[in-house]
């Protein structure tokens, strides 16, 4: 059993560090913005990292997407800038349905430009009413002869207003269908989502009878939900990676402070209670990292089969990042509270990670279901309904 990352992933970390260094001077400004930061977008394009989010056949780096590669890159990017991390991740999250199930034309039209970063991608699932319970969406695909129109609203959509296209989940008769909606479609309007504590490019989308040609249906009508699940299975573990990067950055801030500030004649780092916070944070981040890398390695083989591992990694890593950042503030005393300091930014940015791409409670439900099924399967026992 080898716990070290292979050279391929170490090189990817180096590549990611280079773009993180380029973005560092812009990070405070970019992470305070709810619209696109052109400098960060240009640095990401120049890095060619978006190639990791598209298959080789359409301008990507590897034959198929590699969840471990994406996770280790997000770990590095998020430690520097959430704006950078989000721009990177959304190129995959927004385009994966096309990668999996899109027609030849859809793939050829959009994926090469996603791989270069020329076009930004977005995924429209959430609605004003429907959140975790996505089966409850009301945005509707209405047949019009051979084609369709799209009616409804989406809310809190990352890259809303900046994206070149939206992969949108819609109700379609009794089932759900995913459609590809270019940003310049007539009848589509985007308004900024009310700003959240950790600014993020977010838009609310309104579809007023947006024409959707039959050629814009992604994959098979009625199979939309399976493409959403496959997207979550591919990218959930990358949120764990980003959470680790955030936690690590917070721990480093705290360690630097505790190693250089004295109280009661000794460095803070050697005061028992402070040492305990630093040590617990380090140990918990290491545990979450091992789980994340293992889940991502399993997801490389079969993302759907590894989903409960990815969910567990996302749950543990995002909850750990929250604890680590909170301890870091405590270690840093009043310096932990300074507005627009790195630690204050990290504190705000840690919180949404426990809500998006599967809230912690919803993840626990899925993990618990898997645990129970496993035991019942092993013992040949029937589950009660």
Ligand X SMILES: Cc1cc2nc3c(=O)[nH]c(=O)nc-3n(C[C@H](O)[C@H](O)[C@H](O)COP(=O)(O)OP(=O)(O)OC[C@H]3O[C@@H](n4cnc5c(N)ncnc54)[C@H](O)[C@@H]3O)c2cc1C
Among 17, 356, 366, 367, binds ligand X (CB under 6 A): 356
**Of these residues, 75, 127, 319, 357, which one is catalytic?**
357
Q: Which residue is nearest to ligand X (CB)?
A: 131
Beta bridge partners of 181: 166
User: Could you give the string, one character per residue 32-51, with x where binding to ligand X holds by CB under 6 A and - elsewhere?
Assistant: --------------------
Q: How far is it, in rounded angstroms, from Cα 325 to Cα 312?
A: 20
Among 124, 203, 247, 303, binds ligand X (CB under 6 A): 124
Q: How far is it, in rounded angstroms, from Cα 93 to Cα 327?
A: 31
Cβ atoms of residues 294 and 237 within 8 Å: no
Among 96, 156, 166, 207, binds ligand X (CB under 6 A): 156
Return the number of the residue (212 or 258) whose C-beta is nearest ligand X: 212
**Whole-Å CA distances, 243 to 114, 182, 224, 316, 325:** 24, 31, 28, 9, 11
Q: Which stretch binds ligand X (CB under 6 A): 72-80, 106-114, 122-130, 319-327?
A: 122-130
What is the nearest approach in angstroms of ligand X to the Cβ of residue 134? 8
User: Could you give the string, one character per residue 77-96, with x where binding to ligand X holds by CB under 6 A and - elsewhere?
Assistant: --------------------
What is the nearest approach in angstroms of ligand X to the Cβ of residue 87? 12
Among 126, 139, 318, 349, binds ligand X (CB under 6 A): 126
Of residues 178 through 217, those in contact with ligand X by CB under 6 A are 200, 202
Of residues 293 through 312, those in contact with ligand X by CB under 6 A are none
Q: Does residue 123 interact with ligand X by CB under 6 A?
A: yes
Q: Does residue 362 interact with ligand X by CB under 6 A?
A: yes
Return the number of the residue (36 or 362) whose C-beta is nearest ligand X: 362
Q: Which stretch binds ligand X (CB under 6 A): 99-107, 120-128, 222-230, 302-310?
A: 120-128
User: Does residue 357 carry a catalytic annotation?
Assistant: yes
Among 18, 255, 355, 367, binds ligand X (CB under 6 A): 355
Q: Does residue 125 interact with ligand X by CB under 6 A?
A: yes
Q: Does residue 352 interact with ligand X by CB under 6 A?
A: yes
Size, binding site for ligand X by CB under 6 A: 19
Catalytic residues: 357
Contact residues for ligand X, defined by CB under 6 A: 123-126, 131-132, 156-158, 200, 202, 352, 355-356, 359-362, 365
């Amino acid at each position: 059993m080898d716990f070290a990352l292979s050279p391929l992933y170490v090189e990817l970390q180096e590549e990611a560090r280079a773009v993180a260094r380029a973005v560092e001077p812009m990070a405070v400004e970019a992470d305070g913005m709810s619209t696109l930061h052109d400098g960060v977008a240009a640095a990401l394009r120049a890095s060619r990292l978006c190639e990791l989010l598209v298959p080789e056949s359409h301008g990507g780096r590897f034959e198929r997407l590699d969840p471990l590669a994406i996770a280790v890159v997000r770990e590095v990017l998020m430690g520097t800038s959430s704006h950078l991390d989000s721009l990177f991740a959304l190129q995959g999250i927004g385009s994966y349905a096309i990668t999996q199930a899109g027609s030849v034309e859809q793939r050829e039209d959009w994926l090469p430009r996603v791989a270069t970063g020329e076009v930004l991608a977005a995924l429209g699932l959430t609605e004003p009413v429907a959140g975790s319970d996505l089966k409850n969406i009301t945005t509707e695909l209405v047949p019009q002869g051979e084609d369709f129109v799209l009616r409804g609203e989406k809310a809190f959509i990352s890259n809303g207003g900046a994206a070149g296209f939206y992969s949108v989940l819609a109700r379609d008769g009794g089932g759900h269908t995913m459609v590809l909606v270019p940003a310049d479609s007539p009848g589509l309007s985007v308004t900024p989502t009310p700003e959240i504590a950790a600014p993020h490019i977010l838009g609310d989308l309104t579809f007023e009878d947006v024409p959707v040609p039959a050629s814009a249906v992604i994959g098979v009508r009625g199979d939309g939900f399976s493409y959403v699940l496959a997207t979550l299975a591919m990218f959930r573990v990358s949120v764990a990676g980003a959470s680790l990067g955030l936690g690590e950055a917070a721990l480093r801030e705290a360690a630097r402070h505790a190693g250089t500030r004295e109280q009661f004649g000794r460095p803070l780092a050697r005061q028992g209670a402070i040492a305990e916070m630093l040590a617990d944070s380090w140990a918990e981040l290491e545990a979450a990292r091992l789980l994340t890398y293992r889940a991502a390695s399993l997801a490389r083989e079969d993302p759907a089969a590894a989903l409960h591992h990815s969910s567990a990694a996302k749950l543990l890593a995002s909850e750990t990042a929250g604890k680590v950042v909170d301890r870091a503030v405590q270690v840093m005393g009043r310096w932990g509270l300074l507005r627009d300091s790195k630690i204050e930014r990290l504190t705000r940015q840690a919180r949404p990670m426990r809500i998006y791409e599967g809230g912690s409670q919803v993840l626990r439900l899925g993990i618990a279901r898997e645990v129970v099924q496993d035991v019942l399967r092993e013992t040949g026992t029937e589950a009660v309904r």
